[in-house]
Structure 1
């Protein structure tokens, strides 16, 4: 499910989803029993990575190899929805496959074969001025509308996909002849994305959607701060359809209005989180753009991005410890609010919109920013919550102790950051790969960034 900016209505989300799972819901999960013995931290991290990786491996849509929008272990789905794939989560899944190779969950040969299948499918799937749609019907490669007018290109989801593709390209480019050919195939797809088209007639801002049937009627210029920083970096980086620096500074950064002097729980918010007055947004804003974009030492004239993301993480942690609404279960080992399923459907969770629902991806994917705090959640959910939360593809999407609500369902967009960000916290693997791309370095320099990766 797309994480639309919380200042904007969640559009079709409330219509497409009803998530009424209960503790009685049956599950086909075959995960080994949890809590038999205490794992070391390293063993626990690997266990969580491997189980979640399986969402993108064993759980991949069979025709395309891409990431399913969702997998419900209770087998209750919206109509004709079981094989819908999602481009953003597929970008995360591409990176998760690299984690699988490097961690020995699969062989390199198996991983490359699967990556080839994915890229071959993406090459033939619907695109709109080079941008993929948010949803694709897995069996056909045709767009599945996210909403009536959202049936064309989705530049934000495309940017998450391209982030993953470029990371894979860097991983394969010096490999076997087969791997080099796949890297070249990816390079061609990347260069076909018309980032400049999505300026809507040359404006100094990027638009989220364009439809061949409805044109620009979605009318969604993307301004910061939210999850979409990576879109502006890639648009500036494109060697074929690049945009000038003014698009970033005037559109995304709003001529400097993006900066914030607010504090929360004694920590600087750093940038204005769209729709959140002096507070922080959902936790995924610190994840999606940073699966490849390395925030360590990343700075521009608006922010220190490591400080931004670490403070975001710790503000959410401190909020749960403070627990101003006195929700059951909140504390040092149960924190993290992000967009996810909830008892009444899909919802955007944050300190300003707290429904008593914890989403495991929020704390787990924040592992690089707050290792001790993330591990406390990981261990508690794994050892103490048991099969209420742990299934075939790792931790389920969300739960609420306050409402005694647990549901055996997964969302690809939430599972994807978990193995990837844990790996970045352990080895920096995906950060190092993505940041090694010469176009990415050129794009960051164009926008005035500094980073230890820039040569």
Structure 2
């Protein structure tokens, strides 16, 4: 079907070598009827060398960036560095929020919004709190155990917020990504910067990743002092990619490389074609974004991606384009969905309720993961602006107009002091009690809170789009590099200086696919002006 201005398409045979051989033989042998070699449809953009110019950011993005930074600077408890899970509702701190806050402060320095001394003070306060916080297996009065921290902490006291709060492996990973970012950013000789590096090292090294390997080599989702280890392990593909990289890179409690093999073992369940894109699927976009906030996955590959001929960066690009096309197709007929109104991820919603919509009973949810992919999808018409904006590094040609459109169309009630409120639902127009948010006459439901783990990727990904800031800093961290290498990643910036790039797979079919896929990834990374999403899909 047509998606506006169509791009050119190129049909590329899988077996390139075989076709070349066949063409040579045609001059010597009579023609015989043969089965055609299988073909793969590849965008012509995949064959175009990267362009040096990327789409410039409209002024709106500078305003979004500044407001989103201010969210972390203003709402964090300056006495202990704890950042709220959400605001203005402020029930508890989230350790994942702190990881994003620690990443936000250097972005503020680089933009001149805070001084280096101010950011150092805030960062040291935060790191010292986590270093000195009470740890242990007790049910109350503790912030964590075995180097891990409870998902939610009391904003003032810093202890476990309540008995339903778990010791969280993935949220500790998000915290540690921020911790290691501070270690690599504050690289000066000032005694306070040295102290930041030392405390960051201590915090990371004391996380006992092996302790959570109750069903080794996989890592459990967490632990409760009341009931023990959570029965579920992190298996791919989702946001926990960074967790395994951190666990593999640890010099004190590092897990074996088999952990990565087990993590990727279920990938084939989620590999396939969805909305015209072939990729490793995970419905909510946050799973395609969180690890990429800190790690530049362009042109580096593990074994699975080498065999598939792409990288995780390109995979996230395809996931973004697939979600946009899902919104254009709009199979559930939600109000306002389209080429510039889209974005499904985890976020607030109006209420857990069943209501009639267009003659059908539809389920709506409060806070929930929402997504579109090969499986495990949920869509109740709730759009989270962060889902689109945080994909700006992957697909700026569709993210920029979507951000502008959502600001223009809904900004009078959706855009406020700290940028975009978490979410909105134009289709929800029911006179029932709400869990959160408010109704806007004739416009539907809108969230009342900002959620930190949606705010953080917005800020960091805009910074990465502008000058690769977070990625560049994180490439200096030896633990991140070690984790990637132990997971089997090669190529790109992981190639030692002076050494040639590793050769592609010997298998000609895989080598050809990899060559094409990597060209597409480089072109996407360079943000070519052409718009591959505005394309005609094959019939």
Task: Please list the CA deviations of residues 305-363 of structure 1 after superposition, one character each: whole Å capped at 9, or x if unmatched.
Answer: 01211111110111111212222111122111001001111121112311111101000
In 1: Cα distance, 2:243 partner to 2:447 partner: 33
Aligned to 2:475: 435
More strand by share: 2
Aligned to 2:357: none
After the TM superposition, which of the residue ranges 397-406 and 225-234 deviates more from structure 2? 397-406
Aligned to 2:121: 113
Aligned to 1:136: 153
> Is 1:190 equivalent to 2:204 in the alignment?
yes
> Is 1:52 equivalent to 2:76 in the alignment?
no
> Is 1:68 equivalent to 2:84 in the alignment?
yes
Any conservation in 2 of the 1:361–1:397 contact (CA below 8 Å)?
yes
Aligned match for 2:173, one of 159, 180, 202: 159
Larger radius of gyration: 2
Aligned match for 2:59, one of 34, 37, 43: 43
Following superposition, the deviation at residue 173 of structure 1 comes to 2.4
Give 3-state SS (helix, strand or coil) of 1:325's partner: coil
Aligned to 1:281: 283
RMSD after superposition = 1.7
Any conservation in 2 of the 1:340–1:348 contact (CA below 8 Å)?
yes
Aligned to 1:394: 419
Aligned to 1:229: 241
In 2: Cα distance, 1:244 partner to 1:138 partner: 36
Task: Please list the CA deviations of residues 391-420 of structure 1 after superposition, one character each: whole Å capped at 9, or x if unmatched.
Answer: 111100000112211132111111111100
Distance 1:144 1:364, change over 3 A: same
Any conservation in 1 of the 2:236–2:267 contact (CA below 8 Å)?
no
Aligned match for 2:274, one of 264, 267, 270: 264
Any conservation in 2 of the 1:130–1:192 contact (CA below 8 Å)?
yes
Aligned to 2:461: 421
Following superposition, the deviation at residue 451 of structure 1 comes to 4.1
In 2: Cα distance, 1:387 partner to 1:164 partner: 33
Aligned to 2:406: 381
In 1: Cα distance, 2:224 partner to 2:368 partner: 26
Any conservation in 1 of the 2:84–2:93 contact (CA below 8 Å)?
yes
Any conservation in 1 of the 2:81–2:126 contact (CA below 8 Å)?
yes
Aligned to 2:447: 407
Following superposition, the deviation at residue 42 of structure 1 comes to 4.3
Give 3-state SS (helix, strand or coil) of 1:234's partner: helix
Aligned to 1:330: 337
In 1: Cα distance, 2:59 partner to 2:109 partner: 17
Q: Structure 1-normalised TM-score? A: 0.83
Following superposition, the deviation at residue 212 of structure 1 comes to 3.0
Give 3-state SS (helix, strand or coil) of 1:263's partner: strand
Aligned to 2:264: 253
In 2: Cα distance, 1:94 partner to 1:305 partner: 25
In 2: Cα distance, 1:219 partner to 1:407 partner: 33
In 2: Cα distance, 1:451 partner to 1:309 partner: 18
Distance 1:297 1:105, change over 3 A: same
Task: Please list the CA deviations of residues 122-159 of structure 1 after superposition, one character each: whole Å capped at 9, or x if unmatched.
Answer: 222322110111001121111113x63x44x2110010
Distance 1:83 1:342, change over 3 A: closer
Aligned match for 1:312, one of 312, 315, 319: 319
- Any gaps of 5 or more consecutive residues in structure 2? 1-55, 134-142, 306-310, 352-365, 429-443, 497-539
Aligned to 2:512: none
In 1: Cα distance, 2:193 partner to 2:456 partner: 23
Any conservation in 2 of the 1:61–1:85 contact (CA below 8 Å)?
no
Aligned to 2:108: 100
Distance 1:127 1:261, change over 3 A: closer
Any conservation in 2 of the 1:83–1:139 contact (CA below 8 Å)?
no
Following superposition, the deviation at residue 384 of structure 1 comes to 3.1
Number of equivalenced pairs: 393
- Any gaps of 5 or more consecutive residues in structure 1? 1-39, 274-279
Any conservation in 2 of the 1:205–1:223 contact (CA below 8 Å)?
yes
Distance 1:173 1:375, change over 3 A: same
In 1: Cα distance, 2:267 partner to 2:391 partner: 27
In 2: Cα distance, 1:143 partner to 1:325 partner: 41
In 2: Cα distance, 1:166 partner to 1:307 partner: 25
Q: Structure 2-normalised TM-score? A: 0.70
In 2: Cα distance, 1:395 partner to 1:107 partner: 25
In 2: Cα distance, 1:299 partner to 1:163 partner: 20
Task: Please list the CA deviations of residues 427-448 of structure 1 after superposition, one character each: whole Å capped at 9, or x if unmatched.
Answer: 1111111122112112211111
